[in-house]
Amino acid sequence: MTQPVMPPTTPLYLIDASLYVFRAWHSMPDEFRDAEGWPTNAVHGFARFLAELVERVQPRHAAIAFDEALDSCFRNRIYPAYKANRPPAPDELRRQFGHCKALCRALGFVVLADTEYEADDLIGTAVKAGRDRAHHAVIVSADKDLSQLLQGADEQWDYARGVRWTAAGVRARHGVEAHQIPDYLALCGDAVDNIPGVPGIGCKTAASLLHHFGTLDALLARSDEIQFLRFRGAGQVGAKLRAHAATALLCRQLTTIACDAPLGEGANGFARRTADRDALSRLCEALRFGPLTRRRLFTVAGLEYAPTAMA
């Protein structure tokens, strides 16, 4: 029987903004200042990144996700120590996040942000919504958590390293399938997010266990079989899992990306809007962008650059 031909999908670019804002904050010199004397190094670096991305791919459909759920995320209610190892962002950086969001909107992009859900959850929800609109996702982020969202033609793009991969490439990177990432991180933990995992189980052991048992649930239900597997310390691993089963299940709640977050301004789709000339002009002036940066931003916005209008 001839298989039906599936209609082609169009790319939906989903950008993990916080990653690139933080990177700019740490890499750009702090000599950049706005009209009030506040640092603008992060927004300068983010603007360059965003302009370069637009120049390369000319996205027709895109959303840019920001983290606003600092200590109010639903995961903090489940596990108060979630991300407790991270120092709070200084006021100088928080202020720049606001400028970055305003810049994205001025350029016509949908901005996703919520006080309950993290950027990962907003991206996950957008991936799901995009599939209903015949989009495949291109997730612009190096965050390994986001690989769990990949299916079919979806891609993840580590922009800084110039590396892209699909669901089929996740095993080569992490030793597990894309859909197994939450279980994998629940077992071996994630120090970046202060997720403990099961004591004594590292990345290789977690991958081996999931390769054999498939899921965390099956692994916990059949933990007495682990002693018969051929790797060092197999008997001890079974005991550790039985002793820390509740922790593993809790960690999976933390590592699973929610795909039912409120999308706010993205609820009606992700088509890029016409850029807002006045808003972009005001931002360029307030942030004291130089003429080259202004011209570049106006060009990627599809607007004619008129220097005298921003004098």
Which string of DSSP letters, residue by residue, matches the chain? -PPPPPPP-EEEEEEEHHHHHHHHHHHS-TT-B-TTS-B-HHHHHHHHHHHHHHHHH--SBEEEE----SS-SHHHHH-TTTTTTSPPPPHHHHHHHHHHHHHHHHTT-EEE--SSS-HHHHHHHHHHHHHHTTEEEEEE---GGGGGG--TT-EEEETTTTEEE-GGGHHHHHSS-GGGHHHHHHHH-BGGGTB--STT--HHHHHHHHHHHSSHHHHHHTGGGGGGSSSTTHHHHHHHHHHTHHHHHHHHHHHSPPS----GGGTT--BPPPP-HHHHHHHHHHTT--HHHHHHHHHHTT----GGGG-
Residue 259 is predicted with a pLDDT of 97
Q: Tell me, what's the pLDDT at 311?
A: 41
Contact 166, 149 (CB under 8 A): no
The Cα–Cα gap between 131 and 11 comes to 10
For CATH 3.40.50.1010, the residue range(s) in the chain are 10-173+258-310
Q: Give the per-residue pLDDT at 47.
A: 97
> What pLDDT was estimated at residue 310?
44
Fold of domain 10-173+258-310: Rossmann fold (3.40.50)
Q: Is the dihedral of CA 246, 250, 252, 253 positive or negative?
A: positive
pLDDT at 62: 98
175-255, what's its fold?
DNA polymerase; domain 1 (1.10.150)
Region(s) of the chain under CATH 1.10.150.20? 175-255
Query: What per-residue confidence (pLDDT) applies to 6?
Result: 54
For residue 5, the model assigns a pLDDT of 46
Rg (CA), the chain: 22
Per run of 10 residues, the mean pLDDT along the chain (length 311 residues) is 62 97 91 92 96 97 91 90 90 94 98 96 98 96 97 97 96 96 98 95 94 96 85 81 96 98 93 97 95 97 78 41
- pLDDT of the residue at 7: 60
Q: pTM of the entire structure?
A: 0.94
